[in-house]
Amino acid sequence: MTDGQGASSSNAIRRVRVRVSGRVQGVAYRASACMAARAHGLVGWVRNLPDGSVELEAQGSEPQVALFLVWCHRGPPSAKVSGLDLAGVAVEVDAVGFEIRR
């Protein structure tokens, strides 16, 4: 399948914003998400929210983002993820790296 310009849909760049709920603070979720995102070749960021959830944005190819979202559902071993709220957001063309935000 192509996007009309000859590029495969698997090469399409996607950026998502995810709010992860459950026991996800104090269990190394941010650090683990950062390592997982980098391992999948993604750019973006992750941060704790005051309500106890974790928010992140991740950008990369469709397959990379899909694999990372599978990881987000599990999280690190000590996390207990109860849900993900997912939204597509605009791709940031100049984005580099994946960071933990405070």
The verdict on whether 30 is a catalytic residue reads yes
Q: Annotated catalytic residue: which of 48, 74, 101, 102? A: 48
Within 10 A of 40 (CB to CB), how many other CB atoms are there? 19
Q: Annotated catalytic residue: which of 30, 74, 101, 102? A: 30
Token pair belonging to 4? 């009309």
Which CATH number fits the domain that encloses residue 93? Answer: 3.30.70.100
On whether residue 2 sits in a domain, the answer given is no
Residues spanned by the domain of 68: 12-100
State the total domains in the chain: 1
On whether residue 7 sits in a domain, the answer given is no
Residue 2: band (very low, low, confident or very high) from pLDDT cuts 50, 70, 90: very low
On whether residue 5 sits in a domain, the answer given is no
H-helix segments, 1-102: 29-39, 62-74
On whether residue 80 sits in a domain, the answer given is yes
Instruction: Convert the pLDDT of each residue in 18-31 to its tens digit.
Output: 999 999 999 999 99
On whether residue 18 sits in a domain, the answer given is yes
On whether residue 6 sits in a domain, the answer given is no
